[in-house]
Structure 1
Amino acid sequence: MLADLFDTPLSPTHAAQFSPLALAFIGDAVYELLARGQVLAGGSAPVGKLHHRTVGFVRADAQAQAAHVLLPLLDEAEIAVLRRGRNANTAHVAKHADPIDYRYATGLEALFGYLYLTGRTDRLRQLFALIIKEKEAAAGTT
């Protein structure tokens, strides 16, 4: 089964059978890998600085903001996955995260997990590029 997750994309129906927190579990890794790739694309730096820049992408408040940016651009199936993740009953909230931000961050991670498992890597890259564009616009570096 594990090899199948990496060798063959799942059908949307099969991927939707995972709990939203399981989707968020894999989506967290996918999102962090995209963030790390983006940080490295900015040039080499000491590992501490790379980590600090990556945290700027993966903090709950940054992910929640990204979810709000993407929501109007998602199709119905993607919105449904994000909402399932957002509404999932999480066991805890990170101590430095607003509970609402944490829920939206979980929703975003669930969406990224779902897209990854269904083999929609082009869509993943497209959505992440929109997040980068918005982040750069907010920083005034377009």
Structure 2
Amino acid sequence: MQERRKRERAFAERLAPVSRSWRQLADDALSSLGISNSSGWALVHLLRLGKTVRQSELARVVGVTEPSLVRTLNLLEGAGLVARIADETDRRAKHLSLTADGEALAARIDTRLNTLRAGLLDGITDADLETTVAVLDRIAARVAESSSKP
């Protein structure tokens, strides 16, 4: 049992630093393209989510509140990278879509992030990746379950 606790501790101690370091490398990749982190992540998530996305959905995926996202969207819209579309059924809601220029930049960002990810995961077997993803999914579900308990 003592060995199990050591492995659990080792896992927990590595998880956050690896996540932070990975995110820093990704942020550096965005910076190398001349785009801010907030704008870059908004663009790439819009690309991955599809044609038209509710502003609230983008905020959820990016991991920020809607008001926090508004400034970034204002900048992206002003730069001609994102278009806001009013929701016909809910005047308060906005839908977002990438313009042609926004899609081109988002594709460049996505390519850069794919290259980074491929380099970091080089030499790790498909089986190890599959197991790691499954373990992280189970932990995420338990965290969500714990967070929802009163």
Tell me if TM exceeds 0.5: no
What TM-score do you get using the length of structure 1 for normalisation?
0.30
What TM-score do you get using the length of structure 2 for normalisation?
0.29
Q: Whose RCO is larger (CA < 8 A, sep 6+)?
A: 1
Q: Tell which structure's C-alpha radius of gyration is larger.
A: 2
Which of the two has greater strand per residue? 2
